[in-house]
Amino acid sequence: EPEVTQTPSHQVTQMGQEVILRCVPISNHLYFYWYRQILGQKVEFLVSFYNNEISEKSEIFDDQFSVERPDGSNFTLKIRSTKLEDSAMYFCASSDLGTGASRQYFGPGTRLTVT
Amino acid sequence: QKEVEQDPGPLSVPEGAIVSLNCTYSNSAFQYFMWYRQYSRKGPELLMYTYSSGNKEDGRFTAQVDKSSKYISLFIRDSQPSDSATYLCAMRREAAGNKLTFGGGTRVLVKP
């Protein structure tokens, strides 16, 4: 069964460093998303991406964040200068194009620890 | 008022019992309602997906949506220890590609 994959599974970085989190969405999906989950808190939407541009972003997704689809398979989230409060699980999701009945499937997540 | 509210639990039940979970929401624009299961430090796994009001059954799982009350439920019959996880409700507006808004999750423990 097709699945969303994410690398790395765990990333440790120092405050102020740049990190890139990588995702490979399900191959025939055209909508891509990043969510994050701070430990013990709810899953929060960050950004959605369609047709090579951001379609929606939350107030969390400030200028420190960017997304890119560098090739036909990868979808990345970059954090330019990490802060302690960026420590969280980051989930990539994808959904197919079509009617409103499209379903979002999540990857296993990348645990980001900022020290 | 939070957009989506969910009792955090934990909800502890004996093996074989029915697990009953629910969420309330405030945004009447939500049209699609989902339940995800999340094991510790793993990604959410889609369990059930319903559109607008009504019931949907899939194996041991039944999802109910009551839009007039802004209330959704998930029932798990014949619960197993492997059902022990956190259950997240999620919902979104009509258009494909819209973001999901999640509840905080209910932790369920099924004791053998």
Domains identified in chain A and CATH numbers: 5-98+106-114 (2.60.40.10)
Give pLDDT, residue A57.
94
Q: Look up the domain containing B91 and give its range.
A: 4-111
Query: Do A115 and A52 contact (CB within 8 A), yes or no?
Result: no
Q: From the CA of A80, how many Å to the nearest CA of chain B?
A: 24
Structure tokens at A58: 């939350």
CA geometry: angle B49, A38, B84, nearest 5 deg = 50
Answer whether residue A1 shows pLDDT above 90. no
Q: What is the DSSP letter of B78?
A: S
Q: Which residue type does B31 have?
A: Q
Give pLDDT, residue A26.
93
Do B46 and A33 make contact, defined as CB atoms within 8 angstroms?
no
- Into how many domains does chain B fold? 1
Residues of chain B with pLDDT > 70: what percent?
97
Count how many Cα atoms sit within 13 Å of the Cα of residue A79 in the half-sphere of its side chain.
26
Give pLDDT, residue A12.
98
Going by pLDDT thresholds of 50, 70 and 90, the confidence category of residue A53 is very high
Do B96 and A89 make contact, defined as CB atoms within 8 angstroms?
no
Strand partners, A95: A31
Structure tokens at A115: 């020290």
Query: Do B100 and B3 contact (CB within 8 A), yes or no?
Result: no
Give pLDDT, residue B38.
95
User: Of B105, B23, B16, B21, which Cα lies nearest the Cα of B67?
Assistant: B23
CATH number of the domain bearing residue B37: 2.60.40.10
